[in-house]
Structure 1
Amino acid sequence: MRASVVICTHNRAVDTVEAVHSVLAQKDINIEFEVLVIDNNSKDNTKELFHDTNWPENVRYILESRLGLSYARNRAIREANGEFIMFLDDDALASPSWIQEVIKVFELDDQIGCVGGKIDPIWEGGKPDWIPDEIIGLYTLMDFSDMVVEMKPPYFPFGANVSFRKSVFDNIEPFREDLGRVGNNLLSSEESELISRIREKYKIYYTPYGSVQHKISKSRLNKRWLLRRMYWQGISDATRYNKSSWGLFKHILRIAQAGLLILLCMNNVQKVMSQLVKISYRNGTIVGSFRNSRGLNT
């Protein structure tokens, strides 16, 4: 089998069904693939919906009872039969040529271990004016290049549309299970951490042609969500790099600088949000560093 498409989900039954249908709607494809729906201990009707629907034989429902996105993703890696493992978010929709365009890139070179693709937004209610362009990636959106290119450091694909050559996991550990979302928290960085390790032995590529659309729900289109997302990014980075609380003074200084800039640009909502995001990130890094010092992130 050539490809295993993986959709990990937690309490998004309707979105997940739409994601599966988008994969099954691939056009002009003669590639054998399967779809793995990894139910990460959902409490909605995800299980019933999949058991009550007459899916094709290549769609498999798998329950992963340990709550955490990395647990779900690693379960998928163990279950996958495909030569390539293609991750699609449960609130994303695959383009009609997604599978074949991603596999085309892998076929360019056996040393390509990971391929990321373009991620376009579906804004529920439209994009708010207060979101600064430089932090749009926090909404898991990517438009890295107009052509197929190698992604050099410090750039990484995003998890809403990222694929791996399964054989890389023969000698590389999969996702770190102390990183990644668990329920409603926004811990992250498990993708970039894994890709950093893969990059030591393999090439990382990007394609604009194997694209997906990512739904940005109204619940995320508020300042509170964005600041909370960045706060957890700070905790994630502190956990990933095992930062200690000794760098506290540096973070406090950066917070003070951001606060001063807010006072200087009060009439520009995007600039104010840019600085508030930096403050939230630094606060998260401080909290994460103290958690590391006390052994709470292990």
Structure 2
Amino acid sequence: MKSRVSDDRFEKMIKISVIICTHNPRRDYLNRTLESLRNQSLSKAEWELLVIDNQSKVPVKNILSADKGDNIRVVVETNLGLTPARNRGIEESRGDLLIFIDDDNVVDPNYLSRAMAIMEDMPVLGCIGAGVLEPEFEEEPADSVRPYLRMLALRTVKETQWSNIPTDSIIPWGAGLVVRRNVAEKCRDKVKADSLLSILDRKGSALNSGGDNEFTWTACEMGYGKGLFLDLKIVHLIDRKRLQKPYLIKIAEGHAFSWGISRWNHLRETPNIPSETSCFDIVRSIARLRVSEALSGIQKLIDRRHVDAFASEIEAARISGRKRALKLIKEN
């Protein structure tokens, strides 16, 4: 009976649950993530750390053997995918506030304390995220890929901002996502009940990416707002693999797919598939005396000639992602 009372008191002290979902983590990156969490200004008595091991080849508990004295709890989730891993984290957590940290995030020492203060001061917000997600590259990216690095969850907003409009650009991303428990549980239940929502995120080598946006949609549907805060800062460790063109092309396809599915689920908008303009189309427009249509087609062909090859591959990948989403929508 005494231990139960002690456990109850402990759980009441836990205000924040930090959740790391990981699949075959890079050990040096994960260690830096854990070190940044050890250095948090918020007392360890007020937060817990859950590491959700999602089918890692080397069990994460073996990697963390040296950290067993910390407030870390490792939970194994055998259902592969970021979505079931997040759901397991929600179910296993005890805090009223959940913070999702990626296994390659170096978190600012005041991240937890500031997140808690913001959510206490602004009860109208259901989820918030890092306004500063700056990179630390394993190697310098080529100039040709720099325009697309935002896809790697990198950004710095100009000012703190919030809204309750789910379709605007104020979207907290999964790296550092802070969400109230009631919003997280509502989102979990929605995702479990809808087969389309359950495939929005990464699963093994698949790079679908959009499950974190569901927390934003859910918060707004529940009457909350969401925001990005400049004093929530994370350094995102980017390995060389993610700076390669094939990876960026694959993630562009995954983003477009998830975005298409999400817009259908919430707005009943089907993905827009742009038509390809050919010389035959231009000739046909001229034959029909549609001069403005013909001129527009000629301009599109000229523009296409001036786009570099990698930009064309990225755009083709995005179109492919939209087509994949549209096909799945029609099948369901």
Task: Tell me the TM-score normalized by structure 1.
Answer: 0.85
Deviations 1:52-92 (A, max 9, x none): 22423521000001001010001111111112100111111
Alpha-carbon separation, structure 2, partners of 1:210 and 1:69? 23
Runs of 4+ in structure 1 deviating by more than 6 angstroms, as ranges, are 246-249, 254-259
Q: Which runs of 5+ in 1 are unaligned?
A: 267-271
How has the CA–CA distance of structure 1 residues 58 and 182 changed in structure 2, closer, same or farther, with 3 Å as cutoff?
same
**Cα-Cα RMSD:** 2.7
Question: Following TM superposition, by how much is the alpha carbon of 1:103 offset from its aligned partner in structure 2, in angstroms?
Answer: 1.4
SS in 1 for 2:199: coil
Instruction: Name the aligned partner's letter for residue 213 of structure 1.
Output: V
Which of 276, 281, 296 is the equivalent residue of 2:313? 276
Name 1:11's counterpart in structure 2.
Answer: 24
Alpha-carbon separation, structure 1, partners of 2:300 and 2:319? 10
Alpha-carbon separation, structure 2, partners of 1:239 and 1:128? 32
Alpha-carbon separation, structure 2, partners of 1:36 and 1:87? 10
1:157 aligns with 2:172: yes
Alpha-carbon separation, structure 1, partners of 2:36 and 2:17? 14
Kindly indicate whether the alpha-carbon contact (under 8 Å) linking 1:119 and 1:142 is maintained by their aligned counterparts in 2: yes
Identity %: 24
Which of 247, 251, 264 is the equivalent residue of 2:306? 264
Alpha-carbon separation, structure 1, partners of 2:43 and 2:69? 16
Write out aligned runs for 1:1-298 (5 A).
1-14=14-27, 15-27=29-41, 29=43, 32-50=46-64, 52-117=65-130, 118-133=132-147, 135-146=148-159, 148-151=160-163, 152=165, 153-155=167-169, 156-169=171-184, 171-172=186-187, 173=189, 175=191, 176-200=197-221, 201-242=223-264, 250-253=273-276, 261-266=303-308, 272-295=309-332
SS in 1 for 2:275: helix
Alpha-carbon separation, structure 1, partners of 2:127 and 2:271? 36
How has the CA–CA distance of structure 1 residues 107 and 12 changed in structure 2, closer, same or farther, with 3 Å as cutoff?
same
SS in 2 for 1:253: coil
Alpha-carbon separation, structure 2, partners of 1:258 and 1:213? 40
SS in 2 for 1:237: helix
Kindly indicate whether the alpha-carbon contact (under 8 Å) linking 1:12 and 1:44 is maintained by their aligned counterparts in 2: no
SS in 2 for 1:67: coil
Instruction: Name the aligned partner's letter for residue 53 of structure 1.
Output: A
SS in 2 for 1:38: strand
The structure with more radius of gyration: 2
SS in 2 for 1:205: strand
SS in 1 for 2:213: helix
Identify which range, 89-98 or 38-47, moves more after superposition. Answer: 38-47
Name 1:269's counterpart in structure 2.
Answer: none
Alpha-carbon separation, structure 1, partners of 2:185 and 2:213? 19
Deviations 1:93-147 (A, max 9, x none): 11111111111211222121101012110111113211243x332011121233x
How has the CA–CA distance of structure 1 residues 265 and 274 changed in structure 2, closer, same or farther, with 3 Å as cutoff?
closer
Task: Tell me the TM-score normalized by structure 2.
Answer: 0.77
How has the CA–CA distance of structure 1 residues 286 and 28 changed in structure 2, closer, same or farther, with 3 Å as cutoff?
closer
Kindly indicate whether the alpha-carbon contact (under 8 Å) linking 2:264 and 2:270 is maintained by their aligned counterparts in 1: no
Alpha-carbon separation, structure 1, partners of 2:207 and 2:277? 23
Deviations 1:139-167 (A, max 9, x none): 11121233x32145412111111110112
Kindly indicate whether the alpha-carbon contact (under 8 Å) linking 2:100 and 2:176 is maintained by their aligned counterparts in 1: yes
How has the CA–CA distance of structure 1 residues 132 and 62 changed in structure 2, closer, same or farther, with 3 Å as cutoff?
same
Question: Following TM superposition, by how much is the alpha carbon of 1:260 offset from its aligned partner in structure 2, in angstroms?
Answer: 5.1
